[in-house]
Amino acid sequence: MNLKTVLKEVLEAHQKWVDTQGREGRRASLRDAVLQEADLHDANLQEADLEGARLSVADLMGTNLRCANLKRADFWMADMKNTNLQGAELQGANLSEVTNLTQQQIDSAITDSATVLPTSLRPR
């Protein structure tokens, strides 16, 4: 099974989990997953576990990552235009050279001293 097929199945099960408040489907667990260059445009990954995931050069435009576990994730060169990061755990994450990331997005997320931000942005 290729990555695109697996991701589609994970996203569908996660959406069902979100829609039914956990009664059906299953929470997306993509801990330490290699998702470089993945197309997650407009995906709903709220509350998903992506700790340590490698999302460099991924398309995350419009992706809902609200309250997701993104600790130690690598987002190098990912596109985060209109990505919802409200309450997302970005402790230790690499956001260097992320495109279309705003200060407002960072301010709505949880960061720490180990979070690497683009030089134009400052920690919350």
pLDDT in tens, 65-106: 999 999 999 999 999 999 999 999 999 999 999 999 999 999
Residue 1: pLDDT band by 50, 70, 90 thresholds? low
Evaluate whether residue 13 is within a structural domain: no
Give the pLDDT mean for 30-46. 96
Evaluate whether residue 16 is within a structural domain: no
> Residue 51 has what pLDDT?
98
Whole-angstrom distance, CA of residue 35 vs CA of residue 23: 27
> Residue 3 has what pLDDT?
80
Evaluate whether residue 74 is within a structural domain: yes
Evaluate whether residue 22 is within a structural domain: no
How confident is the prediction for the chain on average, in pLDDT? 96
Evaluate whether residue 115 is within a structural domain: yes
Predicted TM-score (pTM) of the model is: 0.95
pLDDT at 124 over 80: no
Instruction: Indicate which CATH number applies to the domain containing 50.
Output: 2.160.20.80
pLDDT at 122 over 90: no
Evaluate whether residue 60 is within a structural domain: yes
Count of structural domains, the chain: 1
Domain of residue 121 covers 27-124
Q: 42-47 long-range contacts, Cβ below 8 Å, gap at least 24?
A: 43/11, 44/11, 44/14, 44/15, 44/18, 45/11, 45/14, 46/18, 46/84, 47/18
Evaluate whether residue 11 is within a structural domain: no
Evaluate whether residue 122 is within a structural domain: yes
